[in-house]
Amino acid sequence: MAFKNFTFMKLYVSFLLSILFFVSLCVANNVPPETICKGTINPIYCKTVLGSENGNIYDYGRISIRKSLSQSRKFVNLLDSYLQGSSSLSQSTIRALEDCQYLANLSFEYLSNTYGTTNQSSNVLPTSQAEDFETFLSAVLTNQQTCLDGLNTTTSDQRVKNDLSLSLSDDIKLHSVTLALFLKGWMPANKIRTSWPQKGRHLNFKNGRLPLKMSNKARAIYDSARRHGRKLLQTDEDSILVSDIVVVSQDGSGNFTTINDAIAAAPNNTVASDGYFFIFITKGVYQEYVSIPKNKKYLMMVGEGINQTVITGDHNVVDGFTTFNSATFAVVAQGFVAVNITFRNTAGAAKNQAVALRSGADMSTFYSCSFEGYQDTLYTHSLRQFYRECDIYGTVDFIFGNGAVVLQNCNIYPRLPLSGQFNSITAQGRTDPNQNTGTSIQNATIKPADDLAPNVATVKTYLGRPWKEYSRTVYMQSFMDSFINPSGWREWNGDFALNTLYYAEYSNRGAGSSTVNRVTWPGYHVIGATDAANFTVSNFVSGDDWIPQTGVPYSSGLI
């Protein structure tokens, strides 16, 4: 037995050395494009992108990134031309084109930033920087797919749909090659993280007074808010850096009466070291559609509590909105933090897709918030996101999107759907195996909402279904009540994605957590602690690098 193990070890080491030799050969020497393209989804298409000249991984990567950037610019121009001549188009088509334009401009920025760095570097990047670009290139694919989905589902003009769908399909293949080659060339094989020191820097957002570092003017505003009995945060150990503070109050006692006006007053393009622009929203029901643009970075928005500070709307697909622009509240600005707020869409189950909140904000954090809707409540669209101690209500696919997302210590409440419908908690939208995206649900409590509780015997509720081909969702260390269907997961359409998805469960509890009768799809797994650790805050969203500055409590690893 010892001889056999030794022989196996020699073969294994030899195999590893051959892989390392192949990688070093591709990096250091000129190799034909078909060699580089072997690791991509579509090697034949990849070769058409790279041409016939030999090169190393950095040469090829830059070719692909440059072409992606060029195509992105052309697509932006194409959308602009359609919208300039939009007088003959239907309202639904215009809305879909506006979504595409918005997303295409974001993608162009992500690609420009990636090109600017990779064009100057022929070596692996520092881990945090490489992960940033991996995240941005993953989002480029998500943005393209969102545009395509919107055109296919809401556009009535067949000519526009056909023209743009063809362009989008080609561009998605190109951006997939770009992501794959970036990972081959610039992503370190062994990640070395530089994290914030973990010293229990978790602030209490629920009671008392927050010691904010701020200007004298901001302090006067903050103290005035406190004198009116508005309690914010407290800690004896630390503080959050704040550049300014404003109060939103519907009775006119604050700086603004609307949330949108407060956002407009925030400075543009700040950085983390500038501190947060702090918006305190007093109790009330705010009937506003809020969209926080990319230049309003590092906003911290704090309400007076779930069901006390409520932001509500009712846009929905039945009434002509795309799923993307049906959101009551949307944010793409980096570093956004929301605390003690209810985000609501009141369209109801009959109006189909109706989003309460959409986040495409990198390093966005939501703590002690509630998301209320029916179908498509919480749209975790793209980039890195963290949710802690939040309540999420919905019916069909009510946590969906293609960000890299961890939901920790949240309450998930499936509601009563329409007659004949089933509930699916998640519908994760990963379209490419190289995307760093997925939904990780850790230490959640999953129970029926009050309206579903008397009807659990007649309504089937599933943990999720595969919206896209490489859908990835993990439930770990969570409580699942008995109403979860024993099979756990539901097909989307026949055998679509059942081989390519990644669904996993680890150390869950409760009557609905038994994996004995779960689906037997190739992509479904019951995993151990080693695999589960890949989906923790620290590993999956690099949370140790950015969550501590928010003051929001979190667990880095398994609980």
The residue among 97 and 9 whose pLDDT is bigger is: 97
- Which pLDDT band holds residue 154 (cuts at 50, 70, 90)? confident
User: pLDDT by residue (tens digit) across 287-299?
Assistant: 999 999 999 999 9
The predicted model gives 194-204 an average pLDDT of 44
Question: What's domain 395-558's architecture?
Answer: 3 Solenoid (2.160)
Please give the single-letter amino acid code of residue 420.
G
Residue 10 has pLDDT above 90, yes or no: no
Provide mean pLDDT across the span 195-215: 45
pLDDT in tens, 79-138: 999 999 878 888 889 999 999 999 999 999 999 999 999 999 999 999 999 999 999 999
R_g (Cα) of the chain, nearest Å: 24
Domain extent listing, the chain? 33-186, 207-360+367-373, 395-558
Task: Give pLDDT, residue 29.
Answer: 67
pLDDT at 220: 58
Residue identified by tokens 């050395």 is 17
pLDDT bracket for residue 14 (50, 70, 90): low
Q: Indicate if the pLDDT at residue 509 is higher than 50.
A: yes
What is the structure's pLDDT at 222? 55
pLDDT score of 223: 60
Nearest to residue 451, comparing CAs of 523, 541, 349? 349
Instruction: Give mean pLDDT, residues 471-481.
Output: 98
Q: Is the pLDDT of residue 3 over 60?
A: no
pLDDT computed for residue 159 by the predictor: 85
Give the model confidence (pLDDT) of 46-67 as tens digits.
Answer: 999 999 889 999 999 999 999 9
pLDDT at 38 over 80: yes
Each residue's pLDDT tens digit, 167-176: 999 999 999 9
- The reported pLDDT for the residue numbered 419 is 96
Q: Does pLDDT of 543 surpass 90? A: yes
Looking at domain 33-186, its CATH superfamily turns out to be Invertase/pectin methylesterase inhibitor family protein (1.20.140.40)
Q: Residues 431-440: what's their mean pLDDT?
A: 98
Give the contacts of 116 (CB within 8 A, at least 6 positions apart).
Answer: none
Tell me the helix, strand and coil percentages in the chain, rounded to 5.
35, 20, 40
Establish whether domains 33-186 and 207-360+367-373 are of one fold. Answer: no
C-alpha distances (whole Å) from 59 to each of 53, 165, 170, 189, 376 are 10, 30, 22, 19, 42
> CATH second-level architecture of 207-360+367-373?
3 Solenoid (2.160)
The three-class DSSP label of residue 312 is strand
397 catalytic per annotation = yes
Q: Which of 157, 362, 397, 544 is catalytic?
A: 397
Looking at residue 153, what is its pLDDT?
A: 86
pLDDT at 234 over 50: no
| pLDDT at res. 56 | 94
pLDDT at 207 over 90: no
Place of tokens 């051959």: 18
pLDDT for the residue 434: 97
* The pLDDT of residue 194 is above 60: no
Q: Could you tell me which of 477, 380, 484, 333 has the C-alpha nearest to residue 422?
A: 484
For residue 253, is pLDDT > 70? yes
Contact criterion met (CB below 8 Å) for 368 and 306: yes
Where does the pLDDT of residue 231 fall: very low under 50, low under 70, confident under 90, or very high at 90 and above? very low
Q: 3-class SS at 402?
A: coil
pLDDT for residue 240:
82
pLDDT at residue 216 in the model: 54
What confidence score (pLDDT) does residue 238 get?
57
CA dist 358 and 153 (Å) reads: 18
Q: Is the pLDDT of residue 12 over 90?
A: no
The secondary structure of 123-161, three-state, reads: CCCCHHHHHHHHHHHHHHHHHHHHHHHHHHHHCCCHHHH
Average pLDDT over residues 308-335: 97
SS3 86: helix
- 156, pLDDT greater than 80: no
CB 345 within 8 A of CB 326: yes
Average pLDDT, the chain: 89
